[in-house]
Structure 1
Amino acid sequence: MIFPLARKRRGRTRLRPGVREPNHLPRNPSDRAEEYRRRGLYQKAGQILLRLLSRAETAHNPHDLEIPSLLNRLGIVYKHLARYKEAERVYRRALVLARKLPDAAPGVIASLYHNLGGLEHARGRYSRGEPLARHAVRIREKALGPDHPMVAADRAALAAILDRRGKYPEAERLYRRALDCFRRVYGPRDYEVAVVLNNLGAVRAAQGDFAAAQRMYRRAIAIKEKVLGPNHPELATTLNNLAVLQGKQGKHQQAERTFLRAAAIFEKTLGRAHPSYLACRANHAGLVRTMKSTRKVAASTSRRRSRKHS
């Protein structure tokens, strides 16, 4: 199973190379929650966001974006933790609140449709996710114009869904447009570039262009290792995809090493019950079966040749 990464962030948070040490965590609780989310420490991020949400609800201002924004961020964390029903519940609640707000709300509404589409992508309900993702693109493009990087992020999220629906030409076109935008605005070694390279690699692999897919995966891995650190679940996602590709190329030993590295990261960061860990282990098990079958065929062929020449 290949894992394209749907876009899932409320907004743009600049990601710096490497992962800061725990004693350098931001003092502001909102910033600390974002830092934990960035590191893949989703449980800790969620705990802080729940406390912030409780405080905001106590001092509720009906014209304030704080509550829908916090709900949106909490939904992102729940999605990462595969708590999909809870994610949908908080996204839908945020959408109801945001629709009641004045002109400041379009960005939040676009982000919520973006994230609802990404949630359906994670659930494997791609036909439900496509109209949500298309709506996010329309709202944001109307508000910000066609060349804004947040519009590019919406296009990349839509492309991830189209990819899973087998609509490869449109998916690739959207990915490449987003990639051009991110490279122009953020530079060639940015996290957003890595995400799109991962997903574009999945599109190329699905169409049999293994050489191009491998180049994209390796470039994405190099960027993610530098930006996110060596033990982030999003790095493991691309490692899993590379391992799947290596298996298809017959590079079984390389694939096994890559699968084991990805599975170790998923287990450490997300736990053994998480769908990403389970899918990675299933992929590895499939590779092991293929390797055993290949060895049996090779041994049988060798015996036949030995009998023929004896």
Structure 2
Amino acid sequence: MAIKPAPVPSLYECSVTAVAKYYNYFKRDLRDLPETILFDVYMNLYNQNKSCILVVEFGDLDVFSKLLKITNSRVMLIKCFQALQCHGTSLAYDLAQSYKIKAFYCQEKYCVSLKDSTIDIGIRLGGFLIDTGWFLESITVLTKCKELCLTLADNLPAWKKILECCHKLLHAETIYSQFDTAILTKKLAEETVQKLKRSGEHLCFAGIYTQFSIHAFYLSNYQLAYEWSAMAVQELSPNSCSRVTVETLSQASKSCVVKREFRLAQALVRLAVYLAGETFGHQHLKYADALRDYGFYLLNSDSMKDSVTVYQKALKLKKAIYGDKNLHVAALKEDLAYALYVHEYSSGRFNTASHHASQAIETFSKLLPEGHLMLASAHRVKALILEEIALDHMSQYMETQSKLLGEAERLHQNALRLCLAAFGEDNVQTAKHYGNLGRLYQSMKKYQEAEQMHLKAIEIKERLLGPDDYEVGLSVGHLASLYNYHMEEYRKAEKLYFRSINISLKLFSETYSGLEYDYRGLVHVYTHLGEMENAHDYKVTIDRWKTLREEHESKERAPLEHHEPSCSLATIQESMMNVERPLLLP
């Protein structure tokens, strides 16, 4: 077989390589080159491992702001920037501080064009720092940018800049758990939206409505998140920005998942994945983001194996761009760890899940201040895994078991403390942590404490989500298990199992995986009550469930084999048309 000769580099490529090779001779004149040429020279330096040169060049805000104008090679710039950050540099911090100084001096001047250009730099830099996972530095930049925006004349161009800045700032503050300042940013954004609407200017508000949805979602206000997402989806059109469209559809899918609108969630996320792949390509970060939200849908719709597959693909894509020292990667490792924990729950093979959870915690601990809320969820996942590993140890390893359970309790308690500090008692996340402690105390044979935790979790969830929500059913099932297997309160357990089963059947179907635990629980209940006919009936029910489950799984296709979306945007918009709308500030 003939070997194809290597492609001959073009004259332009040879020129760029030569300039990069002899950088010291040309560095005084480089910054006067057009942005595209300058970008290519720097990427050539990156490929030659000239990190020291790049740190100096990228650390200059005026130079870096030129590179931010190159949008068609964004992933390459992110990869280069992140590689420099991983080498121990403080580029993100240095650029944020440089922008603070620039914005401060600009704020004292009355030159509108200078303010406009500085605001544009802030919006681009803040957005880039969000994309690279440096949220605190992004908040620094965008906060100063917002302050500068508010010094502009009260007119249409200024409102547009304020809204664009608020869009990014609200996202960074929400993801980074700065909820107090996020509320103020959201209020300013709402006021600005009203001004723009009154101006008569026809604008697409899908992006900012999606940020409102994300903010509500993080606060566990799922109904409001759903309503904002419905509004955002209605704002979309074939001419909408591709990035905004994918983000809007993905967030709307997540909002539908927590509202248990699974068919709509599936249509939304598959369209998002399809559009992300078609528009940005299958190696792009937006595609990885869409896959992450697809994994969330699959995990919550009882397709755990497929969820693991999709999360693994998303993690592989993000690691190739960010490396390991990154908050985006750590968050995905946490997602994958939990998916693996759920998927392998019956097998007891938790090594891989434990590895990813530990790596996520390690990265969060290095990149976040002590006591940051982002650690709470990772601690929760690690604690759940440790509990199951402990239960797999036989009696001869009681010392190891006790140590693992003690570590799990420490992690759960820490997660609860962080959640209480951020959200207070009346929050779904707080309730989840109470429920997790209830399960752990059950494993530790602290049955009274376990009952108190489960009852507390159920009370909060019922009050916030209603009596028939999935989360309520989950906690009810756990309390039933406690009464059944440890406290011999069989009639209480029977009643709770029936309630859990009814919730599962209402939300899912007869093939739902969680039904097996409730059916087996009822067999145990009736066996100990001496009601053998009832016990036999539920053994038959389990056999029937297994048959239905196998048939269901045999019909499923691999999650990424769906090349075409199942619904069009217009069909989805029609489905969401009658969702109640949240009120904007007057």
Larger Rg belongs to: 2
Name which of 273, 279, 282 aligns with 2:520: 282
Counterpart of 2:296 in structure 1 is: 76
Counterpart of 1:89 in structure 2 is: 309
* Contact kept in structure 1, 2:250 and 2:293, CA below 8 Å: no
Counterpart of 1:13 in structure 2 is: 218
Q: 2: CA distance between counterparts of 1:102 and 1:110? A: 10
Counterpart of 1:143 in structure 2 is: 367
Aligned pairs, how many?
284
Please report how far the alpha carbon of residue 266 of structure 1 lies from its aligned counterpart in structure 2 after TM superposition: 0.9
Identity %: 20
Alignment of 1:207-226 (within 5 A): 207-226=444-463
Counterpart of 2:388 in structure 1 is: 164
Judge which range, 226-235 or 128-137, deviates more: 226-235
Counterpart of 1:66 in structure 2 is: 286
Counterpart of 2:230 in structure 1 is: 26
Q: 2: CA distance between counterparts of 1:52 and 1:179? A: 34
Larger relative CO (CA 8 A, sep 6+): 1 or 2?
A: 1
Residues 228, 69 of structure 1: alpha-carbon distance in 2 compared, 3 angstrom cutoff: farther
* Contact kept in structure 2, 1:243 and 1:256, CA below 8 Å: yes
Amino acid at match of 1:236: G
Counterpart of 2:45 in structure 1 is: none
Counterpart of 1:99 in structure 2 is: 319
> What TM-score do you get using the length of structure 2 for normalisation?
0.45
* Contact kept in structure 2, 1:99 and 1:105, CA below 8 Å: no
Q: 1: CA distance between counterparts of 2:224 and 2:492? A: 31
* Contact kept in structure 2, 1:39 and 1:228, CA below 8 Å: no
Q: 2: CA distance between counterparts of 1:227 and 1:104? A: 37
Counterpart of 2:489 in structure 1 is: 251
* Contact kept in structure 1, 2:334 and 2:357, CA below 8 Å: yes
Report the secondary structure of 1:101's partner residue.
helix
Report the secondary structure of 1:165's partner residue.
helix
Judge which range, 86-95 or 26-35, deviates more: 26-35
* Structure 2: unaligned runs, 5 residues or longer: 1-213, 233-248, 391-403, 533-586
Report the secondary structure of 2:221's partner residue.
coil
CA distances 1:179-198 after superposition (whole Å, capped 9, x unpaired):
11100111112111111111
Alignment of 1:127-206 (within 5 A): 127-166=351-390, 167-206=404-443
* Contact kept in structure 2, 1:182 and 1:192, CA below 8 Å: yes
Counterpart of 1:42 in structure 2 is: 262
Residues 134, 104 of structure 1: alpha-carbon distance in 2 compared, 3 angstrom cutoff: closer
Amino acid at match of 2:424: G
CA distances 1:35-81 after superposition (whole Å, capped 9, x unpaired):
21112333432221110111111110689532212111111221223
Please report how far the alpha carbon of residue 206 of structure 1 lies from its aligned counterpart in structure 2 after TM superposition: 1.3
Amino acid at match of 1:289: T
Please report how far the alpha carbon of residue 205 of structure 1 lies from its aligned counterpart in structure 2 after TM superposition: 1.0
* Contact kept in structure 2, 1:246 and 1:252, CA below 8 Å: yes
Counterpart of 1:240 in structure 2 is: 477
* Contact kept in structure 1, 2:308 and 2:340, CA below 8 Å: no
* Structure 1: unaligned runs, 5 residues or longer: 1-9, 295-310
Amino acid at match of 2:357: A
Residues 84, 62 of structure 1: alpha-carbon distance in 2 compared, 3 angstrom cutoff: closer
Report the secondary structure of 1:26's partner residue.
helix
Q: 2: CA distance between counterparts of 1:48 and 1:152? A: 29
* Contact kept in structure 2, 1:63 and 1:102, CA below 8 Å: no
Please report how far the alpha carbon of residue 283 of structure 1 lies from its aligned counterpart in structure 2 after TM superposition: 1.2
Counterpart of 1:108 in structure 2 is: 328
Amino acid at match of 1:196: H
* Contact kept in structure 1, 2:431 and 2:456, CA below 8 Å: yes
CA distances 1:192-247 after superposition (whole Å, capped 9, x unpaired):
11111111111111122111111100110111112332222222111011011122
> What TM-score do you get using the length of structure 1 for normalisation?
0.83
Q: 2: CA distance between counterparts of 1:105 and 1:159? A: 23
